[in-house]
Amino acid sequence: MIALILSILSSSAIYIVFKLFGKYNITTLNALIVNYFIAFVLGFMLQGNFSVEGVWSVTSKDWFYGSMALGAMFILVFSLMVITTQKGGMSVVSVASKMSVAIPVVFVILYYNESLGVLKIIGIIMALMSVYLVSVRKKDGLSIDMKYFIFPLLVFLGSGIIESSIKFLENTYVPEDEVSLFSAITFFFAFVTGLIVFGLRRHLNKPGFKSKDVIGGFLLGIPNYFSIYFFILALRIPGLDSSSIFIINNVSIVLLSTILGIIFFRERVITKNWVGIGMAILSIILITYTQ
């Protein structure tokens, strides 16, 4: 359970750092590239095998190509989030990414034949409703031109595929003593893919790196690494179904991030957000109770 709590805290810290990006006008892609490199180095240091030979040896691991694809997906989904934000606003991308937890939940229930009682179904539905209610900060809900609907849909699918892939890879291929290594290599390929995207943006005369981008990336890299590391460990908690872990983790992050936003950034919360917060708490209690 400690791993789950640390996963939630790490992911909530990511939210704080991203809020600071906006405040200090940090170029998010540039900071993400630095962040992935920091996370990669941190993972190898914690694995205790930070050397050229150690890096090269991972190519023989069963999870190597899955890790490569997963890292590339990190940048791809981020790029889709940027486009979605431009076309529909922050609320649309927030709902699309957070509601995507439905995909790994359905995946683990069907693929791993996890138990699914009436109370758990009610808890999952309440959790999804709470995510929507907490994420939408406008009284009239969401609105997006239907010709751009493909972008939030791709964010939804991409985010869900990432979480489902993490579960599949860690359960099928990643031994207990290689969690740090797996996390590190995934971040390495996210870093490489980010550099490629950066190169393309520079060709289009987009902004280069600034010192504050590097600082922001460093601050993001530490909690980002631990969010994945502890999440993988949380998926291995005895006595808790992975579907419950996905729901509790994601809903708790939404809940804690909202509370932190109210406390530190004076974010405005409307009635439906408070209703969502209440539903989030009830859903976590209900899902935990059904284990």
The pLDDT of 157-167, averaged and rounded, is: 95
Model pLDDT for residues 229-245, shown as the tens digit of each residue: 999 999 999 888 999 99
At 219, list the tokens.
Answer: 């601050």
Positive or negative, the Cα torsion across 170, 175, 179, 181? Answer: negative
pLDDT the model gives residue 136:
83
What is the Cα–Cα distance from 111 to 31, expressed in whole angstroms? 36
pLDDT the model gives residue 142:
67
Q: Assign 50 to helix, strand or coil.
A: coil
- 8 Å CB contact between 181 and 58: yes
Number of domains in the chain: 1
Domain span including residue 244: 2-289
How far is CA 217 from each of CA 38, 45, 60, 212, 222, rounded to the nearest angstrom?
A: 8, 18, 30, 8, 9
To the nearest whole number, what is the mean pLDDT of the chain? Answer: 89
Percent of the chain scoring above 70 in pLDDT: 94
The pLDDT of 90-115, averaged and rounded, is: 90
Interaxial angle between packed helices 102-111 and 242-265, expressed in degrees from 0 to 180 and rounded to the nearest 10: 160
Model pLDDT for residues 163-195, shown as the tens digit of each residue: 999 999 999 999 988 899 999 999 999 999 999
pTM: 0.90
What is the Cα–Cα distance from 131 to 91, expressed in whole angstroms? 11
